Amino acid sequence: MHRYELVSNPGLRLIVCWHPLGSVPNVDSTCCKRLGILWQVLPEYAWFMQLRAGRRQRESTGLSGAEEAEIETIRKHKQELLDDIRKLKEEIAEVFAEIECFQHAEEKQVADSNPGEQISKLSQRDKILSVGRKKFNMDPEKGIQYLIEHQVLSSDLQEIARFLHKGEGLNKTAIGDYLGGRDPTNIQILQAFVACHQFANLNLVQALRQFLWSFRLPGEAQKIDRMMEAFANWYCKCNPGMFQSTDTCYVLSFSIIMLNTSLHNPNVKDKPHFERFVSINRGIDNGGDLPEELLKNLFESIKNEPFSIPEDDGNDLTHTFFNPNREGWLLKLGGRVKTWKRRWFILTDNCLYYFEYTTDKEPLGIIPLENLSVQKVNDPKKPNCFELFNPNCKGQKIKACKTDGDGKVVEGKHQSYKISAATPAERDEWIEAIRTSITQDPFYDLVSARKKKIASKN
């Protein structure tokens, strides 16, 4: 193993351990290649250090305007390089953790005075399982396939469902995305996964708490529909006679989820009362009403204790921004004195986030897209512009938030957002992606469709 240390900047100490390809068992070439990326930035960093040394010499004798401009360029370049290095350090740490896992398993095996064949097999299985979990968190389909190919999992759908239900080291968002897939195999695994839950003698809120804790509900309406359909079928099977049909359970489950949001979301000013909850659930039990006492118990349970959102296990790579609908650099018009500033935009979960740098953990601003529209606009000073606006409330501020100079979160003051892309093609792609994302809450559409189905039966 070779060890390198970078101490060009006293404020930055970066140590890299380089394992020659093949010297660490079971580490594929990708790991080593990713480590090698670091060396691409070092020559540039050395160049920067030379320029900075020259700048310090000039500062002792005074600087011209051109030299000041050059220094400002160097400072910006320095920040970009430091951001790149920070990102690479995080990536290297992830790879080293994987290598350390392999080495630990082997050291444990060697330390045993009588390892035997069985211990060797268990150690190898632990390595494969660790890698498989990481792969699943990055791409669920590939992770499951990897575990099957290495015989840690069989292709038996019940076994896969139990593996997901146990969830050890698995990302809850990745589990939800996988279970919501429309492939017949995914649907069968979903049904087996739901059957891993014990819902007998639980009221609907208790069952929903258990179910929604085992994964994170995806945002796509069709995935939500399949998952809640499977839940309703299994709940009714575990509690026969509770409802006249599974459609009743389906609609009431959505009503409870929406009630939870309305009661506990601080942005919802008008909190629903029990009478409202009763009203929206009239006639859902094959045309009849559910017992008021049942609805009262469900309402009070949610009012007193909101649903808990599961924390992600395994490699939580900030999944809110990990798999976006679209991301890229755009120019945004803003500020008290209107100026164009370059921002990194991420479109995901029906929101548009913008950051100063791609490596930032927290966004500078968040624009919820609900009730907004997007259109092309012409600007004499900037090409390829588009605009976000509220078609129903022109002249009013868009509901959004941003961070001020002190880092405090404040309400946005835009009546519209004007944004510029690099090319006409990029502008059109962003407009299309935003239009696709601007949708009503899928819960309301799903409940409405199911209520119509119930009404048509009577």
- Convert the pLDDT of each residue in 129-158 to its tens digit: 888 888 898 889 999 999 999 888 999 999
As a three-state string, the secondary structure of the chain is CEEEEEEEECCEEEEEEECCCCCCCCCCHHHHHHHHCHHHHHHHHHHHHHHHHHHHHHHCCCCCHHHHHHHHHHHHHHHHHHHHHHHHHHHHHHHHHHHHHHHHHHHHHHHCCCCHHHHHHHHHHHHHHHHHHHHHHHCHHHHHHHHHHCCCCCCCHHHHHHHHHHCCCCCHHHHHHHHCCCCHHHHHHHHHHHCCCCCCCCCHHHHHHHHHHCCCCCCCHHHHHHHHHHHHHHHHHHCCCCCCCHHHHHHHHHHHHHHHHHHHCCCCCCCCCHHHHHHHCCCCECCECCCHHHHHHHHHHHHHCCCCCCCCCCCCCCHHHHCCCEEEEEEEEECCCCEEEEEEEEEECCEEEEECCCCCCCCCEEEECCCCEEEEECCCCCCCEEEEECCCCCCCCCCCEEECCCCCEEECCCCEEEEECCCHHHHHHHHHHHHHHCCCCHHHHHHHHHHHHHHHCC
In which band, very low, low, confident or very high, does the pLDDT at 103 lie, cut at 50, 70 and 90? low
The tokens of 165 are what? 């239900």
Tens-place pLDDT, residues 393-451: 666 778 777 776 665 666 777 889 999 999 999 999 999 989 888 755 566 667 777 77
Distance CA 172, CA 214 (A): 7
Total count of residues recorded for the chain: 458
In which band, very low, low, confident or very high, does the pLDDT at 3 lie, cut at 50, 70 and 90? very low
Distances 240 to 234, 237, 243, 255, 450 between C-alpha atoms, Å: 10, 6, 8, 21, 21
Distances 59 to 49, 52, 55, 219 between C-alpha atoms, Å: 15, 10, 6, 55
Parse the chain into domains and list their residue ranges: 2-111, 156-312, 319-437
**Is the confidence at residue 36, as pLDDT, over 50?**
no
Distance CA 176, CA 213 (A): 11
Question: Please, how many CA atoms are within 13 Å of residue 123, restricted to the half-sphere of its CB?
Answer: 20
**Is the confidence at residue 206, as pLDDT, over 60?**
yes
Please check whether residue 140 is in contact with residue 185, taking contact to mean a CB–CB distance below 8 angstroms. no
* Domain 156-312 CATH (choose: 1.10.1000.11, 3.30.70.100, 1.10.3720.10, 3.30.1490.20): 1.10.1000.11
Give the residue numbers marked as catalytic.
220
Distance CA 208, CA 203 (A): 9
**Is the confidence at residue 50, as pLDDT, over 80?**
no
Distance CA 305, CA 285 (A): 26
Q: What average pLDDT does this structure show over 70-89? A: 78
Q: Residues of the chain with pLDDT > 90: what percent?
A: 34
| Nearest C-alpha neighbor of 207 from the set 180, 230, 182, 178 | 230
Q: What is the pLDDT of residue 74?
A: 83
Residue indicated by tokens 């050291």: 107
Distance CA 76, CA 53 (A): 16
Question: Please, how many CA atoms are within 13 Å of residue 214, restricted to the half-sphere of its CB?
Answer: 21
* Residue 8: Cβ within 10 Å count: 13
Does the domain formed by 319-437 have CATH 1.10.3720.10? no
Tens-place pLDDT, residues 243-281: 999 999 999 998 898 888 888 877 667 788 999 999 989
pTM of the model: 0.51
Provide the β-strand partners of residue 14: 6
Q: What is the pLDDT of residue 187?
A: 95
Q: What average pLDDT does this structure show over 279-299? A: 92
Distances 128 to 29, 93, 436 between C-alpha atoms, Å: 16, 19, 39
**Is the confidence at residue 57, as pLDDT, over 70?**
no
In which band, very low, low, confident or very high, does the pLDDT at 8 lie, cut at 50, 70 and 90? very low
Edge-to-edge strands, sheet with 409-411: 373-377, 385-389, 416-420, 326-334, 339-348, 351-355, 365-368, 401-403, 409-411
Task: Characterize the bridge pairing of strands 401-403 and 385-389.
Answer: unpaired
Kindly report which listed range (167-176, 366-375, 431-440, 448-457) carries the lowest average pLDDT score: 448-457
* Residue 24: Cβ within 10 Å count: 17
Please check whether residue 111 is in contact with residue 147, taking contact to mean a CB–CB distance below 8 angstroms. no
Q: What is the pLDDT of residue 414?
A: 83
Identify the sign of the CA torsion 205, 207, 212, 218.
negative
Please check whether residue 354 is in contact with residue 420, taking contact to mean a CB–CB distance below 8 angstroms. no
Distance CA 409, CA 404 (A): 6
